[in-house]
Amino acid sequence: MNCRGYQRALISKVGSEPAEPAETDELTRHHASCSACRSFAQRFEGAKDLLARPAAIEGAHRPPSGFAVRVVAALPERRSPLAWASLRLLPVTTALALTLLAWCWLATPSPGELWSQAGEDEVLVWVSREGG
């Protein structure tokens, strides 16, 4: 029997019928010869004991009812200075952004305005420069 087989057999024994005598002999021999599996068996038994405990002392380590609610209620309120500032500055920032947008919209001349403002000679010079 190898280590993997030993450990699987040990785990599968939990809550099941006792193993066959031949298998028990193999387990015993491997247990005697392998220190890693002896350590595994010891840890496994400890874990089984821990898992069996809560049923025996149920309620012994449970907090009183309403404990979590009282803890949460006692926590200080979280206040982020950044959140406070962003809420206070949001209307100002929005107004500034809208003002800039309106200014950009109004300050940009339409193509018709540009055509009427520029003399015909300027337009011809501009077109000839663009093409060449």
Interface positions with Zn ion (CB under 5 A)? 3, 34, 37
Q: Which residues contact 34 (CB under 8 A, 6 or more apart)?
A: 3, 6
* Residue 12 CB neighbour total at 10 angstroms: 10
Residue type, 63: P
Residue with smaller CB distance to Zn ion, 33 or 116: 33
The least distance separating Zn ion from the CB of residue 57, rounded to whole angstroms, comes to 34
- 19 within 8 A of 13, measured Cβ to Cβ: yes
Residue with smaller CB distance to Zn ion, 9 or 34: 34
The least distance separating Zn ion from the CB of residue 7, rounded to whole angstroms, comes to 7
Q: Which residues contact 38 (CB under 8 A, 6 or more apart)?
A: 31
The least distance separating Zn ion from the CB of residue 77, rounded to whole angstroms, comes to 57
The least distance separating Zn ion from the CB of residue 3, rounded to whole angstroms, comes to 3
Residue with smaller CB distance to Zn ion, 3 or 89: 3
Residue with smaller CB distance to Zn ion, 24 or 99: 24
- 42 by Cβ neighbours in 10 Å (0-12 / 13-18 / 19+) ranks as exposed
